[in-house]
Amino acid sequence: MQAIEAEAARLYLKARASDAAEDWDQAYAWVAQDPAHGFAFAKAEAGWELTGRLQELPVGGDDQPAPVPSVSGAEDAAVPLIGRRGLLVGLAAAAASIGVAATVTLRLLGAVDRYRTALGETRTVKLADGSLVHLNTNSSVEVALRDDIRSIKLLKGEARFDVAHDARRPFIVNADGTLVRAVGTMFNVRLRPDVTELTVIEGMVAVRNGGSAVRRIGSGRSAAVRSGSIAVTHLEPAKMKQRIAWQEGMVEFDGDTLAQAVEEFNRYRSNPMVIGDPAIASLRIGGAFRLDRSQDFVQALESGFGVRAVPGSDSSIILVSAE
């Protein structure tokens, strides 16, 4: 049994790290071979996600700490396992045994939908409840719509959520352990390397991370979330417009450094721009550019910022000082 559990953990961690369809397919094929495989895989996934279990987060006044809701027991997190495939009862037992709903169970029973975008691609998905999920470049989400809750997991990248109002079914986004609860609102979540960035566009959300108190955050505000800390700031209209410009196929800079601008454009390029001269990394950049026309950005650098672009044979671009 230890060997089976070790293989389950290996396959799950490999698929989660790459988020590649072939790795998930390999894992699911292994799970389907034996009920014991399904039990071990669900246990591995549930153990990984234990710290990020969904809880009822209250929504009330703007940007104030709130009492941490209590967890009433494993039944609150249990997921109905009646599905069209009726596969692997052991999955349900594994999830219930540690009080966490393992999403592999839902995937195998056809109750979870996965949506993704490739590098440079954006996409809008309309969910069955009327909500919209806008995916930015190289992003992926899992969606499970139940009778009592709408559960979305942002696996990587960035997404904007336009939530259809349904007071009976909270809309909860789990972004690397940061839980965002909404009923009818509009917000953007981006997974950065060191922090989860939340931007509330309309309405109000409740946010929790780890052992932090719940924070209620209203429109026009942003939160940087990391390791149980939630730092809330006000966004001026221009900054808000800049944050969500990608949804219009644009990227905007207003005093950003060249290093920041290059990092942003590289999210959409298969071959990167590289700053080859540290002296120009701190140049301040302004302007609006199409995401799919990074050459316009390069031309602007050459014509107005004293930067020279040297093309690489692999379509990369090295940026150096023109002097």
Average pLDDT of the segment spanning 10-20: 82
Mean per-residue pLDDT for 121-147?
95
Partner residues linked to 160 by β-bridges: 134, 188
CATH for 306: 3.55.50.30
* 148-189 residue pLDDT tens: 889 999 999 999 999 999 988 889 999 988 999 997 899 999
Both 186 and 279 in one domain: the answer is: no
Split at pLDDT 50, 70, 90, the class of 112 is confident
Helical segments of the chain, H only: 2-18, 21-31, 35-48, 74-77, 89-97, 103-108, 237-243, 258-266, 294-304
Taking only the tens place, the pLDDT of each residue in 241-280 is 999 999 999 999 999 999 999 999 999 999 999 999 999 9
What CATH number does residue 162 fall under? Answer: 2.60.120.1440
Beta bridge partners of 289: 251
Number of compact structural domains in the chain:
3
Same-domain check for residues 152 and 254:
no
Q: How confident is the model at residue 39 (pLDDT cuts 50, 70, 90)?
A: low
Q: 9 burial class (0-12, 13-18, 19+ CB within 10 angstroms)?
A: middle
Least confident of 11-15, 126-130, 240-244: 11-15
Q: Which domain holds residue 284?
A: 249-321
The CA distance from 142 to 138, in Å, is 14
Token digits of residue 162: 């336009």
What the block records as the tokens of 282 is: 């701190």
Distance CA 277, CA 290 (A): 25
pLDDT at 245: 96
> Does residue 145 share a domain with residue 69?
no
Regarding whether 226 and 147 lie in a shared domain, the answer is yes
Record the tokens describing residue 303, joined without a space: 């014509």
For the record, the structure tokens of 185 come out as 């609102």
137 C-beta neighbours (distance < 10 Å), count: 18
pTM here is 0.70
Asked if 198 contacts 187 with a C-beta cutoff of 8 angstroms, the reply is: yes
Q: Are strands 158-162 and 140-145 parallel, antiparallel or unpaired?
A: unpaired
